[in-house]
Amino acid sequence: MPEHKPVLFTIFGATGDLAYRKLYPSLYRLYHKGDLQENFAVIGTARREWSDAHYREIVQEAIASLEPDAVEAKNFASHFYYQAHDVQDTSHYDSIKQLTDELDEKYQLAGNRLYYLAMSPNHFGTIVTNLKKSGMKDSQGFHRVIIEKPFGSDFQSASQLNNEIGEVFAENEIYRIDHYLGKEMIQNISAIRFANNIFESLWNNRYIDNVQINLAESLGVEDRGGYYDKSGALKDMVQNHILQILSLLVMEPPAAFSNTEIRAEKIKALNAVRIYTPEEVQKNFVRGQYAAGKFDGKTFAAYREEPNVAADSKTETFVAGKFTVDNFRWSGVPFYIRTGKRLTEKGTRINIVFKQVPLNLFKAEINADCKERQLPPNILTIYIQPTEGFNLTLNGKEIGQGFDTHPVKLDYRNSAETVENSPEAYERLILDALRGDATNFTHWDEVAQSWRIVDAIRQAWDQTEPDFPNYEAGTMGPKAAYDLVAKDGFQWIWEPDEWYRERDLL
């Protein structure tokens, strides 16, 4: 039987898209599996005036695609209560407190509280201050707050936000969400590294040539132009998801597989990522913005034509770059990253490219440039999404006479059924928070250091005018992103647009 804890969730932003698409389905799955049982309740708050009955209908609608049993869905939704709320109005917190106390008694919630802040971050400070003032933090039991990204918009605003929240919640009560940390294959990075001696013993600058982290999206900005145009790909994807992945790849093995030990190693890892000077930024980072493009038989509008985006927007929808990790293990190994909207294909994957053998015995062939044939490198590919699994590319002998080598792939993928049935990122993270396990949430020191790294890039970019738009929708970004790796003698391992380029379709 799954262990379960009584708890009251208070969701700020209950009428929003995130609550509808992610939170209600995740809570339902936890309920269905027994991780939440009868002693839980949810207070949903937002500005709109909704009745409990309407709220419950919305909740049931949000879980309909999971095809719940009708009675179970109704029971589940009966735990949801709605309270219209203006974050600035202090009397509203008193009403929430009153409802909180009633529900605590009705459902026997032992004073356990999880506050979920799923709304604009400029309200977070006001909300937590008022939670405290209204006495909501006084119950016995745990008090935890889950905070959605973005956590600030630069180091300074993030620090200010952190100080405000820190006035009310201790660091071990704050759960900063990075939903990538809830993904199956991101969690698997630690297993691949620390449960396989063949990898961990080679996991350093003596054997690894370069590392490539791709977070490509085929979607554009959809209906999020208002937010995205102020953020851009650097803050939207690099500050959080990419630097989190990087820290998991470069951290030292933790002394134990525990929250404190793992996060301590990730903090050290991020502290070793070089903060670039403006000159280094110009050399090592590339930004892009998509132009209109025809792709896969469809026509896509340019970013500047998307709803709520300025017609002369200078916001980047693409970033490629090279991070440098200044420590004994990683000195000299480039970590290339690439992310963007409206790229050829949706795909998150990591390539660990190993160095060549010390001496190539199979170099007989000479190519047109009179260069001896190089062996293709060994590559460990970690597929995060949409497929999940990993692949090791080795060199084997071609069958037949002679001694030609060719790349052989040892491929493992989770079956579609396993992927379908495995818990969704939000489901895992909510359950972790309920259990008090903060391993897969970001510690303030990680967030702070990530902002310092990203602020240096942003500030350098702000000194110069970008030449936007500079890539067509449906491609893998501007040419400069290819030059970035080529000038170091490498190439992107993952090239989903190769097929189109060869046929002159891009």
Determine if residue 86 is labeled as part of a ligand binding site: yes
Catalytic residue among 4, 85, 241, 443: 241
136 or 433: whose CB is closer to ligand BG6? 433
448: number of Cβ within 10 Å: 18
Residues 348-377 close enough to bind ligand BG6 by CB under 6 A:
348
In the complex, least distance from residue 223 CB atom to ligand BG6, rounded to whole angstroms: 12
14 in Cβ contact with 46 (< 8 Å): yes
Respond yes or no: is residue 443 known to be catalytic.
no
Is residue 148 near ligand BG6 by the rule CB under 6 A? no
Determine if residue 314 is labeled as part of a ligand binding site: no
**Bridging pattern class, strands 7-12 and 40-46:** parallel
CA-CA-CA-CA torsion sign (58, 64, 70, 72):
negative
Determine if residue 143 is labeled as part of a ligand binding site: no
In the complex, least distance from residue 222 CB atom to ligand BG6, rounded to whole angstroms: 8
Tell me, letter by letter, the H, E, C secondary structure of 28-73.
HHHHHHCCCCCCEEEEEEECCCCCHHHHHHHHHHHHHHHCCCHHHH
Of 67, 26, 19, the closest CA to residue 43 belongs to 19
**Bridging pattern class, strands 208-216 and 334-340:** parallel
Determine if residue 29 is labeled as part of a ligand binding site: no
Outline where 65-154 has alpha helix (H). Answer: 70-77, 90-107, 124-133
158 in Cβ contact with 447 (< 8 Å): yes
228 or 295: whose CB is closer to ligand BG6? 228
Determine if residue 149 is labeled as part of a ligand binding site: yes
Task: Select from 184, 236, 306, 427 the one that contacts ligand BG6 (CB under 6 A).
Answer: 236
Structure-block tokens of residue 472: 């067509």
In the complex, least distance from residue 419 CB atom to ligand BG6, rounded to whole angstroms: 13
In the complex, least distance from residue 58 CB atom to ligand BG6, rounded to whole angstroms: 23
Q: Which helix (H) or strand (E) holds 83?
A: strand 80-84
In the complex, least distance from residue 386 CB atom to ligand BG6, rounded to whole angstroms: 9
139 or 313: whose CB is closer to ligand BG6? 313
Residue nearest to ligand BG6 (CB): 236
104 or 236: whose CB is closer to ligand BG6? 236
In the complex, least distance from residue 214 CB atom to ligand BG6, rounded to whole angstroms: 11
Residues 334-353 close enough to bind ligand BG6 by CB under 6 A:
348
Is residue 217 near ligand BG6 by the rule CB under 6 A? yes
**Bridging pattern class, strands 298-300 and 293-295:** antiparallel
The CA distance from 178 to 442, in Å, is: 7
Q: What does 365-431 look like in DSSP terms, one character per residue?
A: -B-TTSPBPPPPPPEEEEEEESS-EEEEEEEEEPSSSS--EEEEEEEEE--HHHHHHSPPHHHHHHH
Structure-block tokens of residue 363: 């170099």
Q: Which residue has the tokens 């839980």?
A: 40
Letters for 480-499 (x = contact with ligand BG6 by CB under 6 A, - = none) are --------------------
208 or 457: whose CB is closer to ligand BG6? 457
Q: What does 202-214 look like in DSSP terms, one character per residue?
A: T-STTTEEEEEEE
236 or 432: whose CB is closer to ligand BG6? 236
8 or 447: whose CB is closer to ligand BG6? 447
Residue 463 CB contacts under 8 Å (≥ 6 apart), including other chains: 278
> CA 469, 475, 480: angle at the middle one, nearest 5?
60
In the complex, least distance from residue 266 CB atom to ligand BG6, rounded to whole angstroms: 18
Determine if residue 183 is labeled as part of a ligand binding site: yes
Is residue 229 near ligand BG6 by the rule CB under 6 A? no
In the complex, least distance from residue 348 CB atom to ligand BG6, rounded to whole angstroms: 6
Count residues binding ligand BG6 (CB under 6 A). 3
472 in Cβ contact with 291 (< 8 Å): yes
Determine if residue 47 is labeled as part of a ligand binding site: yes
How many angstroms separate the Cα of 469 from the Cα of each of 23, 304, 449? 36, 8, 30
Structure-block tokens of residue 392: 């090791």
5 or 342: whose CB is closer to ligand BG6? 342
Known binding-site positions for NADP(+): 47, 86-87, 149
Known binding-site positions for substrate: 179, 183, 217, 236, 341, 346
Active-site amino acid positions: 241
Which spans of this chain sit near ligand BG6 (rule: CB under 6 A)? 217, 236, 348
